[in-house]
Structure 1
Amino acid sequence: MFMSGVVIIGAGPGIGLSVARRFAREGWSVAVVARSEVKLTAVAESLAGVPVFARAADSTDETALRSALDAVSERIGVPDVVVYNAAVIRADLPGELSVAGHQDAWAVNVVGAITAAAHVAPAMARRGSGSFIITGGMPEPKPAYVSLSLGKAGVRALVGLLDEQYGPAGVHVATVTVDGPVAPGTAFDPDDIAEHYWRLHTQPRHRWEREVVHSTHGRARAAEEAGADSIVADLVGAWQTAFDDRRWSDIVSLFAEDAVFQGLTPSLLVGPAEISAYYHAVPNGFRATAKVLHATALGDGIVAGFADATFTTPTSEPRPIRLSIIAQRIADRWLIRQYHAAALS
């Protein structure tokens, strides 16, 4: 049985490494692909304590890239998330770059993403789930960056095409558009940007976004900018997905260390250990659907919301409940501080 897995194509010391860390923090398997063995080694060493599967491949070499993705699937299974992060970033004015230079940039910025999507998205679609996320940029074209502007416009168009092709089958295709130079400690800190990738993957299907733009106010956190409704919907959606897959550790990771939890048993629970024991006692065959009813901000970094949820038993008996949660932004994450479930007649 494979764990949840993410593969990052174009892994390097910036966004690629931060995305790897973000998913590894959730207990995911991590695979990285890059042209440079030096970069792969540096990324693996920076993820000390995290098992990393690394394969060298040039994203413009179709045979090598497909082979690398096959090797990843053999090791971690069909990826749950593929992040295409490869790009050629350079300044060039109109007419300054040769035809070959434009072709090389286009091959990295766009064609490699097409190759990767064509190789993994059909398997995701057959499974009925998965995310294919491309790192974008240049929300507005700039004459000082012609090849990059064209490439990122191509990425935006490609995301739309892939969404039409694979979205109906359950594959979330999106782009994280980074509108500035990536550097730690700035508004474009790669750790902040990495939050977008996790949030996109955990979004409930009815709230899928095709593009998230990280601009100069990016450190305000994407989820908070989206408003209380989206924050609660993201948490409830992640809870539902993990519940259906019986990924109890993923559910527990949604709660703060001192979270107060009232489930459908009489006991009032506090903290991860007790919450984990509660979910491990759930019989096999239960599934859940949930819909957010209302959410509101209670103050800076605190939101509350209500959702209707229905548990379906192994014998298809529906058990409707009302969920109430209070969540708080702690460090870089929104975590549930209080959870209450009440049965509905």
Structure 2
Amino acid sequence: MTSTVFITGATSGFGEACARRFAEAGWSLILTGRREERLTALSEELSAKTRVHPLVLDVRDRKAMEAAIAGLPEEFATISGLVNNAGLALGADPAPKCDLDDWDTMVDTNIKGLIYATRLLLPRLIAHGKGATIVNLGSVAGNYPYPGSHVYGGTKAFVGQFSLNLRCDLQGTGVRVTNLEPGMCESEFSLVRFGGDQARYDATYAGANPIQPQDIAETIYWILTQPAHININSLEVMPVTQSWAGFAVERPGKA
């Protein structure tokens, strides 16, 4: 039986790299994305290698997600893996300067979109049973605070705890859950965060030798192809050039 993976946010970054990696291995793909033109082009390209079912939708739209998953063709009905990749950060300013709309969008995408996809696909993953795998894209921002992380880091902390809780609820089903926590990665994700500011994007990664989307895709493929009796609970990945900052200390009395 051909394995099938459901990848959210497949039109750029980690999601697109995952689609390419799993297509190379012959997995059937269910790909979601908001940008129809990109999703169509990617699906047509990868269709030369494997079966692809594109779903143009926003993971924040619960009704659209419900309808799309309920309407999956029979050949895509059994899901082997779910890659909850769709997510974003908006802005890196201090909390008092942030736009509440940006905070809403991050919560709706990083938390609600992820739980919609998970809950709606759980029956199919459980039906697959042993070896079925959920990979949730967390972040080191869910573990380590830094200025400008505020709601983004909070949403990724949720992803980490949700992943652990899922493991408890899914015991006995054979379904595995991993929280994958990347550090500095170079992708369109950061360009979105900086509002399209290419100069700021370039300065962020200059000389840093950051992780690339292909690195994360290879890691996710490795997680999904581990022996069925192994669960990777969480995996934190950073480039060698990145480490942890010291604690910030305010010194108001110092000249």
Normalized against structure 1, the TM-score is what?
A: 0.58
Contact 1:9–1:86 under 8 Å retained in 2 = yes
Partner of 2:181: 177
1:87 aligns with 2:87: yes
1:283-298 matched pairs, under 5 angstroms: none
1:214 aligns with 2:237: yes
1:159-308 matched pairs, under 5 angstroms: 159-183=163-187, 186-217=209-240
CA separation of 1:190 and 1:12: change in aligned 2, threshold 3 A = same
Deviation at 1:48, TM superposition (A): 6.1
Q: CA RMSD in A?
A: 2.3
Aligned-partner residue type, residue 133 of structure 1: V
1:96 aligns with 2:97: yes
Partner of 1:40: 39
Partner of 2:159: 155
Aligned-partner residue type, residue 38 of structure 1: E
Partner of 2:245: none
In the TM superposition, what whole-angstrom CA distance separates every residue of 1:203-251 from its partner, at most 9, and x where no partner exists? Answer: 2344311111220139xxxxxxxxxxxxxxxxxxxxxxxxxxxxxxxxx
Contact 2:80–2:128 under 8 Å retained in 1 = no
Q: Which has the higher helix share?
A: 2
Contact 1:141–1:150 under 8 Å retained in 2 = no
In the TM superposition, what whole-angstrom CA distance separates every residue of 1:33-79 from its partner, at most 9, and x where no partner exists? Answer: 11221331242255362332111111111110122223335341221
Gaps of 5+ in 2: 189-207, 242-255
Supply the distance in 2 between the matched residues of 1:216 and 1:126 (Cα, whole angstroms): 37
Normalized against structure 2, the TM-score is what?
A: 0.77
SS state of the match for residue 72, structure 1?
Answer: coil
SS state of the match for residue 169, structure 1?
Answer: coil
Contact 1:3–1:76 under 8 Å retained in 2 = no
SS state of the match for residue 185, structure 2?
Answer: coil
Deviation at 1:98, TM superposition (A): 4.1
Contact 2:60–2:112 under 8 Å retained in 1 = yes
Supply the distance in 1 between the matched residues of 2:58 and 2:108 (Cα, whole angstroms): 10
Contact 2:66–2:120 under 8 Å retained in 1 = yes
**For structure 1, which segment, 91-100 or 131-140, has the greater mean C-alpha deviation from structure 2 after superposition?**
91-100
Supply the distance in 1 between the matched residues of 2:214 and 2:102 (Cα, whole angstroms): 31
Partner of 2:135: 133
Aligned residues: 217
Q: Which has the higher strand share?
A: 1
Contact 2:176–2:231 under 8 Å retained in 1 = yes
Aligned-partner residue type, residue 198 of structure 1: Y
Partner of 1:241: none
SS state of the match for residue 89, structure 1?
Answer: coil
1:13 aligns with 2:12: yes
Aligned-partner residue type, residue 212 of structure 1: L
SS state of the match for residue 11, structure 2?
Answer: coil
Percent of aligned positions that are identical: 27
For CA contacts below 8 A with separation 6 or more, give which structure has more relative contact order: 2
Partner of 1:61: 61
Deviation at 1:103, TM superposition (A): 2.4
Supply the distance in 1 between the matched residues of 2:228 and 2:4 (Cα, whole angstroms): 19
Contact 2:7–2:83 under 8 Å retained in 1 = yes
CA separation of 1:45 and 1:140: change in aligned 2, threshold 3 A = farther
SS state of the match for residue 95, structure 1?
Answer: helix
Partner of 2:110: 109
Contact 1:73–1:79 under 8 Å retained in 2 = no
Deviation at 1:198, TM superposition (A): 1.3
Q: Quick check: which has more Rg, 1 or 2? A: 1
Supply the distance in 1 between the matched residues of 2:55 and 2:28 (Cα, whole angstroms): 14
Contact 1:11–1:39 under 8 Å retained in 2 = no
Aligned-partner residue type, residue 174 of structure 1: T
